[in-house]
Structure 1
C-alpha cells in the first residue's frame, strides 16, 4: 500500500512547491521588473506621501474638488456585525448595488442626486455617471461630460476662472485604449492633483 501512497505524496509536494511557491514568486518577480508601478498598486505620491491609487476610486466631498460618482460599497455595521452600512469607496468590499430599475429606494436616491446636481449647475444636463454607481463601486474615472459639468462649482470654490479649470479637465481626458477599447475618461485623482497644483492647493 505504501508504494501507492508514496508517489501521490511526492506529486502533492512537488506540485505544491511548483504552483504554490515557485510560480507565484516568479510572477511577482516578473511583475516587479516589468510593471513595478502597477504591481505595487499604482500609488500616487505627493510630497512623499501616498494620496491614493490611480486605479482605485475614492470619495471627494469638498466643493473645492471634482467629486466621484456615487458608490454602493458597504461595510459591517459596527453596532451589529450581522448587518452592513453604506461605506462609499470601501476598497475592502468592492461591489455594486443590488437595487433593480424598479426599486423605489434607487429611484428616490437618483432623483435626489439629480436635483442636487441641477442646483449645482442648472445650465447643463446632468451626466448619468454623476448619479449612478459603477459595478465595482470603486471606479476611479469620470466621463469628460461629468467632469466638465462640475467646472463652475470647482472654479467658484477655488476662485479660479472657469476657462482655466475647464482647460485642466480637457488636459486630463484620456482617449479610448488603443483607440477602440472603452470610452474617453478623466481620472479623478489625477485631475484633482493637477487642480491642487494649479491653485496652490
Structure 2
C-alpha cells in the first residue's frame, strides 16, 4: 500500500460510511416514520375530489398556496418571497399596488384591508389567511356568487382551524378549501 493510499483510505471509508448512514439509513427512517405517523402530510396533503363521472382529480395541496384572482373567489396572500425591509420604499410600493388591486376588485368595500392580504408570508406559499382577511371578502364573494353572506361565512367557518392545542399559533382559513367548497367541489 502506498503512502497516498494510507492517507486517502480513512477519508474514503468515512465518506462511504456517512453516505450509508446519512443518505440511506437516516432518509429511510425519517420517510418511514413520516409515512407511519403523518401519511397525508408526507404525501403532500393533496386534495383529491371524485367528480360526478367517477374520475378523480387532484386540485392542489392544502399546505401550499394557489393563486386566485377572480372576484368570486377568496383571495389569499401575495405569493413569492421577498427580502425587502418592511419599511423600504420598494415594499411600500408593492403593498400599495396590492391595496389598489384589492380596491379595484371590490370598489364598494371601504373597510381596512387586513395586513395578510397585502404582505407576503415568510415562505411565500402560505395557504392560509386570517379569519379577519376572510371576513373582509365575504360581501364581495356573496355578491359575485349570488349567495347569502351567512352561507359564505358558514363555508369559511368550516375550513378555519383554531390554535394548535389551544395556545400555539393563530386561527387560519385555508383559501383553497374555501374556494373548492364555494365551487361545490368539497
Q: TM-score, normalised by structure 1?
A: 0.77
Which SS does the other structure have where 2:173 is aligned?
A: strand
Work out whether 1:111 is the aligned partner of 2:110: no
2:68 pairs with 1:68: no
* Gap regions ≥5 residues in structure 2: 51-55
Task: Measure, in 2, the Cα distance between the counterparts of 1:177 and 1:10.
Answer: 45
2:44 to 37, 41, 50: 41
In the alignment, the residues of structure 2 paired with residue 5 and residue 137 of structure 1 have an alpha-carbon distance, to the nearest angstrom, of 45
Aligned residues, how many?
176
Q: Distance in 1 between matches of 2:91 and 2:30?
A: 42
> Is this contact kept in 2: 1:118–1:126, CA < 8 A?
no
Distance 1:100 1:40 in 2: 35
Displacement over 6 Å in runs of 4+: none
Given the alignment, which residue of 78, 82, 92 partners 1:97? 82
Aligned to 2:33: 30
- In structure 2, the CA distance between the partners of 1:12 and 1:105, relative to structure 1 (3 Å rule), is closer
Decide whether aligned partners of structure 1 residues 22 and 61 sit closer, same or farther in structure 2, where only a CA change above 3 A counts.
Answer: same
Question: Which consecutive unaligned segments of at least 5 residues does structure 1 have?
Answer: 74-95
C-alpha separation in 2, matches of 1:123 and 1:194: 27
Deviation at 1:5, TM superposition (A): 4.6
C-alpha distance in 2, partners of 1:13/1:108?
A: 52
